[in-house]
């Protein structure tokens, strides 16, 4: 048995005994579907860093450029499918008494995989919001007929219904994520670099409330020293392995 298999068995024992499980995901879980992550080479669009485009200042300065970026991402996300990692998490809705996915991703792939309890911390790229009235509409059509999109009722610019850097998260959404994190007996943290706040603080809040932290990532992150279990590898490979062993453990 390899070290990884040994660690996977330890995590399966933990999960098999848990009734309340929370999962926090980042861009890494969508990487195997073909969605670029934010860090490293992937994090670049043309020569802009994601953090420089995903800001209210950038939108103020050049809404057409920001919309070109979001349109590129919508087109890319529309062309991909959820991967095995997303699908396992969708299946875990019925494997635990209480289960929820808290995601930093705006790609909507957890929903597309069939997850029902998803907290979208940073919004959703398929939703547009009027910059004057604040009304939100889901528009999946890509490419959008008109860029930048205009509000049909008041003629003001529409923006992506996502949280930009320097903008506060919706207090109700953040409150729910914090509640779920504190209530979990186990928090599985998948494919996140743990650098963006306040999302990155949720695993620490969960640990303070007594939850066991299981981290899955292709490389260590600032969270790794605090994690009870670190499973090195791809989410789309580790989650199916965990799921298989969990089913075997429960069948035994």
| Catalytic residue set | 122
Residue 7 engages ligand BV8 in binding (rule: CB under 6 A): no
Report the alpha-carbon angle 90-240-39, nearest 5: 80
Write out the two tokens for 205: 């809040």
Residue 197 engages ligand BV8 in binding (rule: CB under 6 A): yes
Residue 104 engages ligand BV8 in binding (rule: CB under 6 A): yes
**b/e string for 86-97 if b means 16 or more Cβ within 10 A?**
bbbbbbbbebbe
Gap between the Cα atoms of 246 and 252, Å rounded: 10
Gap between the Cα atoms of 129 and 149, Å rounded: 10
Per-residue contact flags (x/-) with ligand BV8 for residues 218 to 237, judged by CB under 6 A: xx-x------------xxx-
Question: Position of tokens 């048995």?
Answer: 1
Residue 26 engages ligand BV8 in binding (rule: CB under 6 A): yes
CB of 192 to ligand BV8, least distance (A): 3
Single out the segment in contact with ligand BV8 by CB under 6 A; choices: 22-30, 92-100, 112-120, 204-212: 22-30
Gap between the Cα atoms of 184 and 204, Å rounded: 12
CB of 19 to ligand BV8, least distance (A): 26
Residue 23 engages ligand BV8 in binding (rule: CB under 6 A): no
> Going by C-beta distance under 8 Å and a sequence separation of 6 or more, which residues neighbour residue 48?
69
* Greatest distance between any 2 Cα atoms in the chain: 64
Per-residue contact flags (x/-) with ligand BV8 for residues 135 to 174, judged by CB under 6 A: ---------------------------xxxxxxx------
Which spans of this chain sit near ligand BV8 (rule: CB under 6 A)?
Answer: 26-28, 31-32, 37-39, 51, 54, 104, 106, 122, 162-168, 191-193, 195-197, 199, 216-219, 221, 234-236
């Amino acid at each position: 048995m390899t070290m990884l298999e040994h660690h996977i068995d330890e995590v399966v024992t933990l999960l098999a005994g848990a009734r309340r499980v929370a999962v926090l995901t980042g861009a890494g879980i969508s990487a195997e579907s073909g969605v670029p992550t934010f860090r490293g080479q992937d994090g670049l669009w043309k020569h802009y860093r994601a953090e420089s485009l995903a800001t209210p200042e950038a939108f103020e300065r050049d809404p057409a450029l920001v919309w070109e970026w979001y349109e590129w991402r919508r087109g890319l996300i529309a062309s991909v499918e959820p991967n095995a990692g997303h699908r396992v998490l969708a299946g875990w809705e019925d494997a635990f008494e209480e289960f929820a996915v808290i995601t930093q991703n705006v790609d909507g792939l957890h929903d597309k995989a069939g997850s029902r309890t998803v907290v979208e911390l940073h919004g959703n790229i398929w939703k547009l919001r009027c910059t004057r009235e604040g009304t939100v509409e889901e528009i999946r059509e890509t490419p959008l007929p008109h860029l930048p999109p205009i509000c049909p009722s008041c003629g003001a610019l529409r923006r992506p219904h996502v949280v930009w850097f320097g903008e506060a998260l919706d207090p109700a959404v953040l409150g729910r994520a914090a509640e779920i994190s504190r209530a979990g007996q186990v928090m599985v943290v998948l494919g996140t670099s743990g650098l963006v706040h306040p999302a990155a603080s949720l695993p620490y809040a969960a640990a303070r409330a007594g939850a066991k932290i299981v981290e899955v990532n292709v490389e260590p992150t600032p969270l790794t020293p605090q994690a009870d279990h670190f499973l090195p590898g791809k989410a789309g490979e580790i989650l199916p392995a965990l799921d298989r062993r969990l089913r075997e453990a429960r069948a035994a």
